[in-house]
Chains A and B, each alone.
Chain A
Amino acid sequence: MGKEYELRLYVAGKTAKSVTALNNLKKYCEEHLKGKYSIEVIDLLVQPQLAEGDQILAIPTLVKKVPEPVRKIIGDLSNEEKVLVGLDIRPKK
């Protein structure tokens, strides 16, 4: 991939929360990380075995694999501030 930000979004089917989360995520990335990111959406209903690897409990969960440290953000990502802090785009206040 070679991108600066590798993001994975775990969802379970096309629920309202998942769709909201994905839309929110795309919006933030376009705003702050244009061209530096890749998003991989994993549907656990299709690939349940992948849930173990990233220790997924909650749905939806956004996992930032790169850059280190690995961070998880759960929820529909409606709070932009928290997402940006969680992705280490903006320093914690």
Chain B
Amino acid sequence: MPSKKAPFPPKQPMHQLPKTPTGITGLDEITMGGLPTGRPTLVCGSAGCGKTLMSIEFIVRGAIEFNEPGVFIAFEEKAEELATNVASLGFDLNELQQQKKIKIDYIHVDRSEIEETGEYDLEGLFIRLNYAIDSIGAKRVVLDTIESLFSGLTNQSILRAELRRLFQWLKNKGVTAIITGERGEKTLTRQGLEEYVSDCVILLDHRIINQISTRRLRVVKYRGTTHGTNEYPFLIDEDGISVLPVTSLKLDKPVSSDRFPSGIPALDKMLSKGGFFRGSSILVSGTAGTGKTSMAASFCNEACLRGEKCLFFAFEESPAQIIRNMRSIGIDLQKHVDKGLLKFYASRPTLHGLEMHLVAIHKAIKNFKPDMVVVDPITNLITIGSVSDVKSMLVRLIDFLQEEQISVIFTALTLNLVVNEQTDEGVSSLVDAWLLIRDIELNGERNRGLYIMKSRGMKHSNQVREFVISDDGLDLIDVYIGPDGILTGSAREAQVLMEETGQVLHTHAVDFKDRELLRKRKVLESRIESLKSEFESTEAELNKTYIEDAIKKDVLQQNREKLSNLRGKSFYDIDTTKSKNKKSKK
């Protein structure tokens, strides 16, 4: 028999067990590469847990993504039924059959038609299988559900011997096979198939806790290789199965020192770095109606304005409702939605279990590749799980987001005032920054006060700010701290007005004094002026007497000279006495 091994990832060293990737999201991570190549794998679980779907996805993905043709032997459903059932997942079985990439063979076992007499074997089944495998060169085989044979045939000892032979034969044939089996009471499968298929066993489970169902998957055993041993939740949706390989326990995430602003400048100013770190997680908590969603929307809006992609998980309001409400505070989210920068993912928390939400969130994030994620609010998830469940889910979500360097904003409702200093869902220790919006009740009105409880890696203001939501958006205002304590809202406004009045009065008084001074100065100045002129006139009078005296003296002198000239030399003595007299007079 040709026993071609399926190609396996080259990163695996040769001595390791070769594995065949299933192409099922997450399953290959858990099994560290896929199912064992050339060996049968048992997929078991109770009714409706997704065995058939998982096996058909294995075949289809193998045919489409890995170019490995596959044979699907259906014991329960006809080929057409199967094709119809998986058409909703976007698998076109008929076309794949025509392209000879897959082959579906329906084996019908009807007890009423069959009479058993004497010895027989199942060579017919082998021949059919062999024919089907060879006709398309199949590398993958699914037998769904081989246990139907037990209901159709009565001779158990022959059946068991033949099944053992069948699995051996499949190994020899070198095909990677999935055998599905119904879960039994105490054993993994009703007919104890796990005895025969011992290389790899995957258990699917569909559990309902508090009326909410969660599908889980566990690799019970995988011989010759390591594998994830936990129970992993998985989701069946329009893209098939997604398993979530959650809880990476390492703490070696890359960190970024890039900052992004919040869209509220005043909030950025409260942080020493002018914004939050990229890839960090921010918790906004507060009592009802404190504007948590508005705050989250503001972050969103700012991110979209920067041209970044944003994913909004709404667990409380519908997208249309959020868009309408945010428009009222001047944040237009619709234009971002139109541009494809913002996407809403709204679902009721009770739609499925926590784990399923996590899977769904993962998927949405992987598809949309956002730069920022908003979860609004995380408190609603508490309705479907205990606090510790929610916490473990959020740990994993934060973990994942940090790995992807996506910033995340959580909003949380603090249920009552007594516990609001307590951690919200216990996540406050996980998040990097925590904004607490608190009602401040004073003078018969409620106002919002915002604190930054913590912000890792940067200094931040320790003061409360009044958080104001207006038509123009969100803003933070410094609260008034005065002799009467902290004032907010209209009390703050009143205080501000009062101060303004005082200011005006004061200015007025100062003005008045200034004018008075001016007047006085003018009076004094005029007085100085008059004194000055008085002094001048006195001075002028004094001068006048001096000049008159001088003039008189001159004239007398002249007269005397004239007289002496007239009398001649004889009068000289007289003249001298006279001049002597005059001198003594002086």
Which residues in A have some Cβ–Cβ distance to B below 8 Å? 10, 12, 17, 20-21, 44-45, 48-49, 51-52, 55-61, 69-79, 82-83, 85-86
Q: Per-residue CB proximity of B120-139 to A under 8 Å, as 1/0?
A: 11111101101100000000
Q: Report whether B131 and A75 are in contact in the complex, using a CB–CB cutoff of 8 Å.
A: no
Total residues of chain B contacting the partner, CB 8 A: 24
Residues in chain A near residue B113, CB distance under 8 A: 69-72
Residues in chain B near residue A49, CB distance under 8 A: 131
Q: Report whether A74 and B107 are in contact in the complex, using a CB–CB cutoff of 8 Å.
A: no
* Complex Cα–Cα for A10 and B127 (A): 12
* Complex Cα–Cα for A62 and B306 (A): 76
Complex A-B, nearest 10 residue pairs according to Cβ-Cβ distance, in ascending order: A78-B118, A86-B115, A75-B118, A48-B131, A59-B123, A76-B118, A56-B124, A79-B117, A82-B117, A75-B120
Q: Report whether B120 and A76 are in contact in the complex, using a CB–CB cutoff of 8 Å.
A: yes
Which residues in B have some Cβ–Cβ distance to A below 8 Å? 105, 107-109, 113-125, 127-128, 130-131, 149, 152-153
Q: Report whether B105 and A52 are in contact in the complex, using a CB–CB cutoff of 8 Å.
A: yes
Q: Report whether B122 and A76 are in contact in the complex, using a CB–CB cutoff of 8 Å.
A: no
Q: Report whether A75 and B124 are in contact in the complex, using a CB–CB cutoff of 8 Å.
A: no
Contact of A17 among B105, B115, B119, B153 (CB under 8 A): B119
A51-B128 contact in complex given A44-B123, A57-B107, A58-B122, C-beta closer than 8 Å: yes
Q: Report whether B127 and A75 are in contact in the complex, using a CB–CB cutoff of 8 Å.
A: no
Q: Report whether A72 and B127 are in contact in the complex, using a CB–CB cutoff of 8 Å.
A: no
Question: Which of B108, B116, B122, B125 neighbours the largest number of chain A CB atoms within 10 Å of its CB?
Answer: B116
Residues in chain B near residue A55, CB distance under 8 A: 107-109
Q: Report whether B114 and A59 are in contact in the complex, using a CB–CB cutoff of 8 Å.
A: no
Task: Name the distance in Å between B131's Cβ and chain A's nearest Cβ.
Answer: 4
A74-B131 contact in complex given A12-B124, A57-B122, A58-B153, C-beta closer than 8 Å: no
* Complex Cα–Cα for A90 and B391 (A): 72
Q: Report whether A17 and B120 are in contact in the complex, using a CB–CB cutoff of 8 Å.
A: yes
Can you spell out 25 A-B residue pairs with CB atoms less than 8 angstroms apart?
Answer: A10-B124, A17-B121, A48-B131, A51-B124, A51-B128, A52-B105, A56-B127, A57-B125, A57-B149, A58-B123, A58-B124, A58-B125, A59-B120, A61-B124, A71-B114, A71-B115, A73-B116, A74-B115, A75-B120, A76-B118, A76-B119, A82-B115, A82-B116, A83-B117, A86-B115
Residues in chain A near residue B107, CB distance under 8 A: 55, 57
Residue on A nearest B115 in the bound complex, by CB: A86
A56-B118 contact in complex given A12-B123, A70-B113, C-beta closer than 8 Å: no
Contact of A73 among B117, B131, B152, B153 (CB under 8 A): B117
Given A52-B105, A58-B125, 5 new contacts (CB under 8 A): A51-B127, A52-B128, A73-B114, A74-B116, A79-B117
A74-B127 contact in complex given A57-B107, A86-B115, C-beta closer than 8 Å: no
A-B Cβ contacts below 8 A, count: 98
* Complex Cα–Cα for A61 and B109 (A): 13
Residues in chain B near residue A72, CB distance under 8 A: 113-115
Q: Report whether A85 and B121 are in contact in the complex, using a CB–CB cutoff of 8 Å.
A: no
Q: Report whether B119 and A73 are in contact in the complex, using a CB–CB cutoff of 8 Å.
A: no
A76-B128 contact in complex given A12-B123, A44-B123, A59-B122, C-beta closer than 8 Å: no
Task: Name the distance in Å between B285's Cβ and chain A's nearest Cβ.
Answer: 64
Residue on B nearest A16 in the bound complex, by CB: B119
A85-B124 contact in complex given A48-B131, A57-B149, A58-B153, C-beta closer than 8 Å: no
Residues in chain A near residue B130, CB distance under 8 A: 48
Residues in chain A near residue B105, CB distance under 8 A: 52
* Complex Cα–Cα for A12 and B108 (A): 20
Task: Name the distance in Å between B113's Cβ and chain A's nearest Cβ.
Answer: 5
Q: Report whether B119 and A44 are in contact in the complex, using a CB–CB cutoff of 8 Å.
A: no
Question: Which of B119, B123, B128, B153 neighbours the largest number of chain A CB atoms within 10 Å of its CB?
Answer: B123
Q: Report whether A76 and B124 are in contact in the complex, using a CB–CB cutoff of 8 Å.
A: no
Residues in chain B near residue A44, CB distance under 8 A: 123-124, 127
* Complex Cα–Cα for A12 and B131 (A): 13
Q: Report whether A85 and B115 are in contact in the complex, using a CB–CB cutoff of 8 Å.
A: yes
* Complex Cα–Cα for A17 and B114 (A): 18
* Complex Cα–Cα for A65 and B116 (A): 17
Task: Name the distance in Å between A1's Cβ and chain B's nearest Cβ.
Answer: 22
Residues in chain A near residue B109, CB distance under 8 A: 55, 57
Contact of A79 among B118, B122, B127, B153 (CB under 8 A): B118
Q: Report whether A77 and B124 are in contact in the complex, using a CB–CB cutoff of 8 Å.
A: no
Contact of A45 among B108, B117, B127, B149 (CB under 8 A): B127
* Complex Cα–Cα for A71 and B110 (A): 10
Residues in chain A near residue B124, CB distance under 8 A: 10, 12, 44, 51, 56-59, 61
Residue on A nearest B113 in the bound complex, by CB: A72
Residue on B nearest A86 in the bound complex, by CB: B115
Residues in chain B near residue A73, CB distance under 8 A: 114-117
Residues in chain A near residue B152, CB distance under 8 A: 57
Q: Report whether A77 and B131 are in contact in the complex, using a CB–CB cutoff of 8 Å.
A: no
Residues in chain A near residue B122, CB distance under 8 A: 57-59
Residue on B nearest A49 in the bound complex, by CB: B131
Task: Name the distance in Å between A78's Cβ and chain B's nearest Cβ.
Answer: 4
Residues in chain A near residue B128, CB distance under 8 A: 48, 51-52, 56-57
* Complex Cα–Cα for A6 and B316 (A): 70
Residue on B nearest A21 in the bound complex, by CB: B118
Task: Name the distance in Å between A58's Cβ and chain B's nearest Cβ.
Answer: 4
Residues in chain A near residue B114, CB distance under 8 A: 71-74
